[in-house]
């Protein structure tokens, strides 16, 4: 795997682990949707997809985190949600520079 993709893959895996760790309601449908989006992101990175496709996956995960933040039944603490969103934003900026 290309070193850029390998490093990015490691970042995605770390984000997935952190997401799992901060979830208050892991079986909630919104949590499952976000988990799925992060898995698709990892799959795209592993397969070496185009950086634009990876950026779109990141944006999808960000939108889902935003929806979860404003939900009436939160799946995690709001500060954790914001941190994950910001981490995704940093990753999005990184991928745009490729």
Each residue's pLDDT tens digit, 49-61: 999 999 999 999 9
With pLDDT > 90 as the criterion, what percentage of the chain qualifies? 95
Rounded to whole angstroms, the maximal C-alpha distance in the chain is: 42
| Region for 48 from its dihedrals, namely left if φ exceeds 0, alpha if ψ lies in -120 to 50, beta otherwise | left
Q: pTM of this prediction? A: 0.93
Number of domains in the chain: 1
Q: Could you say which residues of the chain have pLDDT below 70?
A: none
Domain boundaries, position 24: 3-96
Per-residue pLDDT reduced to its tens digit, 16-27:
999 999 999 999
Distance CA 66, CA 60 (A): 10
């Amino acid at each position: 795997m290309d070193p850029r993709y390998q490093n990015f893959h490691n970042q995605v895996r770390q984000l997935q682990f952190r997401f799992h760790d901060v979830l208050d309601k892991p079986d909630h449908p919104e949590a499952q949707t976000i988990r799925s989006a992060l898995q698709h992101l990892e799959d795209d990175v592993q397969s070496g997809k185009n950086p634009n496709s990876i950026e779109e996956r990141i944006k999808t995960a960000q939108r889902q985190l935003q929806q979860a933040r404003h939900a009436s039944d939160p799946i995690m603490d709001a500060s954790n949600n914001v941190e994950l969103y910001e981490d995704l934003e940093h990753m999005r900026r990184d991928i745009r520079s490729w």
